[in-house]
Amino acid sequence: MAHETGELSEPRELSAEERGLTDWLLRHGAAEGIDFLAQLEHAKVIAHCKCGCASIDFSIDGRRPKTFGMRVLSDFQWKDEQGRLFGAIVFEQDDLLAGLDLWSIDGIATAHVLPSVEALVPYGTLA
């Protein structure tokens, strides 16, 4: 199923798992990811994906990106217990930490749950 964003009626805090995964991805991705850690402390979830995956979009102190173009700050992948392959990125838009995106690489299943950081490897290293 294609990603389609569903706005939340009220912004919410990131769960401990969402915050922890995003923090880890920022620390282990592109060097400039570290520059966005301070924004993570002010991030709220403003949208989720309607496909049922665990992808979320952020606002930072109530500010949202104004343009659609994004820059990937961290790009990892993992396999679940059934051997299904998924991807995870953290991205920025307009110099704002903008979201955590999870997707199926092999098209077999939807990434309904967040991966453990122990399962993550750099994108392109699993087949």
For residues 63 and 44, what is the distance between their CA atoms, to the nearest angstrom?
10
Count of domains in the chain?
1
Q: Is 127 contained in some domain?
A: no
Between 4 and 1, the more confident residue is 4
Q: Is 49 contained in some domain?
A: yes
Q: Is 20 contained in some domain?
A: yes
Q: Domain residues for 35?
A: 5-61+70-122
Q: Which two tokens stand for residue 81?
A: 């217990």
Condensed to tens digits (0 to 9), the pLDDT of residues 45-93 reads 998 888 889 999 999 999 988 887 899 999 999 999 999 999 999 999 9
Q: Is 18 contained in some domain?
A: yes
36 has pLDDT over 80: yes
Q: Is 116 contained in some domain?
A: yes
pLDDT for the residue 66: 86
Yes or no: say if 118 and 24 are a contact pair by the CB < 8 Å rule. no
Strand order in the sheet with 5-13: 5-13, 43-49, 56-60, 96-104, 85-93, 71-79, 121-122
What would the mean pLDDT of 98-117 be, rounded to a whole number? 96
Q: Is 94 contained in some domain?
A: yes
What would the mean pLDDT of 17-37 be, rounded to a whole number? 98
For residues 84 and 52, what is the distance between their CA atoms, to the nearest angstrom?
16
pLDDT for the residue 78: 98
